[in-house]
Chains A and B, each alone.
Chain A
Amino acid sequence: MTKNLCTPDPWTRLRSLTNARLALGRSGVSLPTAEILRFGLAHAQARDAVHQPLDVETLAHAFQMAGFTSLCVASQAPDRASYLRRPDLGRRLAPASASLLQNVATSPLPLVFVVADGLSSLATHSHALPLMQALLPYFPELRTLPVVIATQSRVALGDEIGQLLRARMVAVLIGERPGLSSPDSLGIYLTSGPRVGLTDAQRNCISNVRPEGLVYPEAARKLAFLIAGARQLGRTGVDLKDDSDAPGIAQSPETPVLPANEAPSHHTVCAI
């Protein structure tokens, strides 16, 4: 016997258009039992994702195999519990990591990439390298730039990293806070003239990089557009507008954004 205890919504077909929780139906005015359980499971999994540590060794190896040079650093947050309560610790390098970067710093760099765990190591592990590879057509010299893998890191850790490496810009690729439907969303923060103490108004952000969200080639195109814009404007932040979708702007991967012999003029960095 079928029990018609719930009022169904006759628009379930709209679910094909979005991952949002549409047409859930109702028990009276409330959520049906099936959705209560589905939601509860997703929340449990997202909670677990926050606490999963980034496998730095495996990630560094993957970057190496792809022809990139990577360095590993840690913030001043000793563990996840401290990281969650003390964002200030996640914005500064541990003394040993700061010394390491000071020792490797040579001539000024046009751009440094920071690959950071943030709040979802799953995002960083899954999407940072494919995104870097999608950037290669825009950046012939990409593999000559160091990739800094950072743990217990906030966006602003990129400011100190960029400053120590004398970078004119920093791009921080970082795991965003996990959502119920997207435990693996990567964010990109671009910051010109990285130095300790910058605010978010001085950055540009590209969010939700993942196969089900902003796909790698699109994210790479947007980032290349912002990097070119930041070089032209001399800064990042609210004055730099993302008009990459404007008609007539057809960014070609054949046009390198940063010339190989780029002279010192400005900086790039990202942070969360």
Chain B
Amino acid sequence: MQYSASVGVRRHVFADLKTLLAKASPLRSGDLLAGIAAASEEERMAARIALAEVPLMHFLQEMVVPYEADEVTRIIIDEHDAAAFSVVAGLTVGEFRDWLLSDATDGVALAALAPGLTPEMVAAVSKLMRNQDLILVAAKCEVITRFRNTLGLRGRLAVRLQPNHPTDDARGIAASMLDGLLYGAGDAVIGINPASDSLPAITTLLHLMDGFREQYAVPTQSCVLTHVTNTIRAIEKGAPVDLVFQSIGGTEAVNSSFGVTAAILEESMLAARSLKRGTLGDNVMYFETGQGSALSANGHHGADQQTLEARAYGLARRYQPLLVNTVVGFIGPEYLYDGKQIIRAGLEDHFCGKLLGLPMGCDICYTNHAEADQDDMDTLLTLLGVAGINFIIGVPGADDIMLNYQSTSFHDALYLRRVLNRRRAPEFEEWLEHMGIADYHGDLLPQTEQQPLLAMAGTNWGAHA
């Protein structure tokens, strides 16, 4: 279907919904790279004016990626909940923005609506929203998930402790893990990105984390972020797998480039649940995503990267994940060029994910070839904190020495807790107090050599003064 908007004497025409969405999207290098961005600022606004008039119903008729050609589209359409959608079925995209911002629309209404929304509807409305709109609406949402603790409660913020080491050295990883725990991080998950995909190496890391968790009764979960097929193998060999990790994208083609299908994800979820390791819940999946992955894999079908990112969430939600992490600045400047683009994308991803009912976290990050620095990360960190992000990443000193990029530090999380009064997951908070790491208010306590975790380091890893 063709769309158009008139600006003075000029009439802007957009060939189809996919084109309209791409032209309406805020400027970013990835859409320029794909050759689908608006040619001028006026064209971008004309696209938004036209997009505001499109009925939400129409998104169920015109596909951005063809139904026949794409598994993700089939999942989005086949699993759409028409009853949940009926509340907003009469609205246009522009009216939907007003509805979302309305005082009458609260978190309960948004949670009920989530299964009735498609990723394309959510992406579309985000393109009409300013940063503050993305924050305000996301802040209404509360998405709670459970495995060994409770994540996503209002007023709470969790941290994934990411103790990576360039050669998977067990003592090096354990040292970073200890540093993070002593800074009160690790309630979302203790998750290692392994340097090696070798099954024995992965199994060693799983046992390292699980042994530690059991010894100190830490109310959290662990994960080695390897390919889903490796995790299935690890489960088959009896390794202590809490969560299944996988990178996913918004089209069948990008997922194929990741070596994954919906069926493999389903199989892995059932395998992890069969272990019954979660004490409070069975949210066993951990997904990572990021704008630009589909273009990077040449699987974008001419759609803009923000819409495709939202489609990845459309896939993710059918597996009831514990954590969904948009790794926003990792992909590089060819997709998100600078701090401004990274900040906007982080807010869009969090908004779209939350609206679709997902427990969104964000790896607030950048690489050394992007035009960004720590000041940009501070800005995004603060904005996402206000928006009610479920979790962020914690890396010693914000410097990931294995993946070679800058994320957020343990100190960054403490900053957010301090200025926004965000507490940790309740079970983890209790454990920190029990261990003498934090006080009743969640503030860190000064430590001494007598701290039990440090005593263990001396005994087990030979890390003596």
Contacts and interface: CB of A to CB of B under 8 A. Distances in A.
Contacts of B451: 10
A13 B457 CA distance: 10
A46 interface: yes
B454 A11 contact: yes
Interface size class on chain B is 35 or more
Contacts of A241: 197-199, 230
B398 interface: yes
Interface in A72-89: 84-88
A85 B29 contact: yes
A10 B447 contact: yes
Contacts of B457: 11, 14
A201 B406 contact: no
B399 A21 contact: yes
Nearest to A176: B404
Contact of A26 (B296, B411, B461, B465): B411
Contacts, number: 191
Contact of B368 (A29, A31, A178, A201): A178
A202 to B, nearest CB: 9
B297 interface: yes
A23 B415 contact: no
A17 B200 CA distance: 22
B376 interface: no
Interface stretch (B131-139, B255-263, B424-432): B255-263
Please report whether the interface of chain A is mostly helix, strand, loop or mixed according to DSSP.
loop
Nearest to B29: A85
Contact of A201 (B199, B257, B369, B401): B257
B195 interface: yes
Contacts of B165: 18, 20
A182 B397 CA distance: 15
Interface of B: 29, 32-33, 163-167, 169, 171-176, 178-179, 182, 195-201, 227, 229-230, 256-259, 296-298, 332-334, 337, 367-369, 373-374, 395-406, 409, 411, 414-415, 417-418, 444, 446-449, 451, 454, 457, 461, 463-465
Given A21-B409, A22-B175, A180-B368, 12 more contacts: A11-B178, A18-B169, A20-B397, A47-B368, A179-B403, A199-B298, A208-B402, A238-B227, A241-B197, A242-B197, A242-B198, A247-B200
5 contacts: A13-B464, A21-B396, A22-B175, A182-B166, A246-B200
